[in-house]
C-alpha cells in the first residue's frame, strides 16, 4: 500500500467556496506551488445576487490573476457614469476611455463560472456540489474537516471563502451575535433597455433611500442590472424595501433612464452585505476567513468583489510565507496584512457614509465632485476604487502615479 506523505510535506490547502475570494486565494496559492483543493456546494454556473459591477481595483486584481474578460460572454465595459442627487440634479462623469478598463459589468452567473474555469485551466482542482460541514479538529499540525460527500479529510490550512453565511465561521463559533449584514440589497435584471441606461451607469441617491442608493448597470444586448441597497438599522426595513422596490421602478427618472419599453425579467433577489472587517473574526488556528466570510465589503458602497479578490490574495501570501504545520503563523500574518490593506479604508468609508446619509451631505458631496473638470475626472476614478478609499491618510500606499495609472488589461487585446 502506498504510504500517505506526512502532513508537513504535503502542505495542501482546502478553499471552501469558489466565488471571487476563493478562486483568488486558490490561484495565488497554486502560483506558490502549494497544492490546493477548492470545494463549492453549488454547481456552476450559479447565480449570486449582486450588482455585477467591477471597480478599477477589482479589474486590476483580475488582471493580476491573468483572467481573460473575453471568457465572459456579457462582459460590458462602461465609461459613462451619471449620479443623481436627492434634489434631482444629475452629475455626469467619465472614466478614461483610452487606456484599459476602469469599470465593467459581468453577470455573476457567467463571471464566477469563468473564474472557476480559469482556475481549472491552471490545474487547480475545483470540486462542485461538495459542502463543508464542520471542523472536526484543528489542534495539532492540521485542520481536520468533514465534507459532504467527500468525508473526513485533513489539510494544513483552510481558507473560508464561503460568503456571508459562512458555515466555517459558524462552525468555529466565530459569528458576530445576531449579525444579519450591514446592508440589505435587491437586484433584478431588465431587458429591452433603450434609454441612456443601455450604455451609462446610473447611481440614484433618492432621498427616501438614504443612506442607501439605487443603481442601473448596463449590460450588452439592451440589458441592465438594476437594484438598490439600504443600510440595516436605517429607516427602511427589508420588508419596506419590497414596496420601495416597486415604487422605485415607477419613478420618472428611472423609467426615463431605462426607456419606456424596458421590462424587468427573472426574479427579484435580495441578499445581505457584510461590511465590518474591523470587528469580524479574520482567522482561527489553521483557518483564514476571506471575502464576505470576513465581512470585508466596502461599507460606503457595498462593493465586495475587489475586496474578496484582495483578501483571497493576502490569505494565500500569509499561508505561503508560513511554515507548514504552524497553525498560528498564517493567521498572524494575514491579520497584519488585512489591517494594513483594509482598516483605514473601512474607517474612511464609515465617515463618508455618515455624510452621504443626509440629503444635505449627499447634495454637498455631488456638488463638490462637480466643481471642475479636475474634480469630475478624479472623483470618478476614486469612486471606482482606482486608489484605496483612504489613500490620502496612508502614506505607506502612496505612489508616483496617483490616479494616473492606465486601467486594467491595458496591455492586453481585450473587449
Ligand atoms: C444586491 C447586491 C449587490 C452587490 N453589488 C456588487 C457590485 O456591483 N460590485 C461588487 O463588487 N460587489 C457587489 N456586491 C457584493 C458582492 O456580491 C460580494 O461581496 C461578493 O460576492 C463576495 O464574494 P465571496 O467570494 O466572498 O463570496 P460569494 O460570492 O458569496 O461566494 C461564496 C461561495 O461559497 C459557497 N459556499 C457557501 N457555503 C458553502 C459550504 N458550506 N460549502 C461549500 N461551499 C459553500 C457558495 O456556494 C458560493 O459559491 C453586491 C452584493 C449584493 C447582495
Mean pLDDT of the chain: 91
**Cell numbers 435580495 correspond to what residue?**
270
- Our mutation pick for probing the ligand 1 site, out of 48, 217, 276, counting the most ligand atoms within 8 A of Cβ, is 48
Cα 165 to middle of ligand 1, angstroms:
10
> For the segment 176-234, what is each residue's pLDDT rounded down to a tens digit?
888 999 999 999 999 999 999 999 999 999 998 888 899 999 999 999 999 999 888 76
Give backbone dihedrals phi and psi of 319, rounded to 5 degrees, phi first. Answer: -70, -45
How many whole angstroms separate alpha carbon 52 and alpha carbon 76?
10
Q: What pLDDT score does 394 carry?
A: 85
pLDDT at 414 over 70: no
Cell numbers given for 64? 493580476
> For the segment 44-55, what is each residue's pLDDT rounded down to a tens digit?
999 999 999 999
How many whole angstroms separate alpha carbon 381 and alpha carbon 125?
37
How many whole angstroms separate alpha carbon 237 and alpha carbon 225?
22
Strand 80-84 relative to strand 90-94, pairing: antiparallel
Cα 367 to middle of ligand 1, angstroms:
33
Cα 163 to middle of ligand 1, angstroms:
5
How many whole angstroms separate alpha carbon 207 and alpha carbon 88?
10
Q: What pLDDT score does 264 carry?
A: 95
- Our mutation pick for probing the ligand 1 site, out of 209, 273, 307, counting the most ligand atoms within 8 A of Cβ, is 273
Q: Note if the bond before 144 is cis, omega within 30 degrees.
A: no
Q: What pLDDT score does 365 carry?
A: 87
User: What's the whole-number mean pLDDT along residues 370-383?
Assistant: 89
Contacts of 5 by beta carbon, 8 Å cutoff, 6+ apart: none
What is each CA distance from 410 to 103, 380, 381, 402, in whole angstroms? 13, 19, 16, 17
Cα-to-chain-centroid distance, residue 141: 32
Lateral strand order in the sheet of 125-128: 125-128, 35-40, 12-16, 157-160, 287-289, 283-284
- The pLDDT-based confidence of 387 (bands split at 50, 70, 90) is confident
Centre a 10 Å sphere on the Cβ of residue 247 and count the other Cβ atoms it contains. Answer: 11
Cα-to-chain-centroid distance, residue 235: 25
- Cβ atoms 226, 287 nearer than 8 A: no
User: What's the whole-number mean pLDDT along residues 70-75?
Assistant: 97
- Cβ atoms 205, 222 nearer than 8 A: no
Amino acid at each position: 500500500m502506498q504510504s500517505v506523505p506526512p502532513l508537513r510535506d504535503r502542505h495542501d490547502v482546502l478553499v471552501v467556496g469558489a466565488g471571487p475570494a476563493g478562486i483568488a486565494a486558490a490561484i495565488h496559492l497554486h502560483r506558490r506551488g502549494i497544492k490546493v483543493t477548492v470545494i463549492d456546494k453549488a454547481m456552476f454556473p450559479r447565480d449570486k445576487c449582486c450588482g455585477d459591477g467591477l471597480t478599477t481595483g477589482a479589474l486590476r486584481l483580475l488582471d493580476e490573476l491573468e483572467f481573460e474578460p473575453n471568457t465572459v460572454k456579457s462582459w460590458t465595459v462602461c465609461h459613462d457614469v451619471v449620479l443623481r442627487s436627492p434634489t434631482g440634479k444629475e452629475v455626469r462623469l467619465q472614466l478614461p476611455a483610452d487606456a484599459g478598463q476602469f469599470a465593467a459589468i459581468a453577470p455573476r452567473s457567467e463571471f464566477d463560472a469563468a473564474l472557476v474555469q480559469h482556475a481549472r485551466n491552471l490545474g487547480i482542482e475545483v470540486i462542485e456540489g461538495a459542502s463543508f460541514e464542520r471542523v472536526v479538529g484543528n489542534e495539532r499540525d492540521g485542520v481536520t474537516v468533514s465534507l459532504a460527500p467527500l468525508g473526513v479529510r485533513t489539510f494544513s490550512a483552510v481558507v473560508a471563502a464561503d460568503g456571508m453565511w459562512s458555515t466555517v465561521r459558524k462552525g468555529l463559533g466565530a459569528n458576530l451575535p445576531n449579525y444579519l449584514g450591514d446592508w440589505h440589497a435587491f437586484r433584478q435584471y431588465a431587458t429591452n433597455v433603450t434609454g441612456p441606461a443601455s450604455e451609462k451607469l446610473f447611481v440614484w441617491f433618492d432621498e427616501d433611500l438614504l443612506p442607501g442608493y439605487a443603481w442601473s448597470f448596463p449590460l450588452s444586448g439592451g440589458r441592465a442590472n438594476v437594484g438598490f441597497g439600504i443600510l440595516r438599522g436605517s429607516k427602511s426595513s427589508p420588508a419596506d424595501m419590497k414596496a420601495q422596490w416597486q415604487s422605485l421602478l415607477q419613478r420618472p427618472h428611472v423609467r426615463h433612464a431605462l426607456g419606456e419599453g424596458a421590462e424587468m425579467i427573472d426574479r427579484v433577489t435580495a441578499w445581505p452585505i457584510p461590511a465590518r472587517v474591523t470587528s469580524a473574526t479574520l482567522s482561527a488556528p489553521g483557518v483564514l476567513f476571506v471575502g464576505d466570510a470576513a465581512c470585508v465589503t466596502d461599507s460606503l458602497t457595498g462593493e465586495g468583489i475587489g475586496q474578496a479578490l484582495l483578501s483571497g490574495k493576502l490569505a494565500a501570501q500569509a499561508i505561503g510565507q508560513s511554515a507548514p504545520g504552524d497553525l498560528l503563523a498564517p493567521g498572524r500574518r494575514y491579520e497584519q496584512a488585512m489591517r494594513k490593506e483594509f482598516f483605514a479604508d473601512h474607517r474612511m468609508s464609515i465617515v463618508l457614509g455618515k455624510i452621504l446619509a443626509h440629503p444635505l451631505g449627499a447634495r454637498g458631496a455631488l456638488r463638490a465632485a462637480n466643481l471642475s473638470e479636475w474634480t469630475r475626472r478624479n472623483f470618478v476614478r476614486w469612486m471606482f476604487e482606482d486608489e484605496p478609499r483612504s489613500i490620502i491618510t496612508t502614506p505607506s500606499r502612496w505612489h508616483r502615479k496617483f490616479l494616473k495609472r492606465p486601467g486594467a488589461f491595458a496591455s492586453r487585446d481585450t473587449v
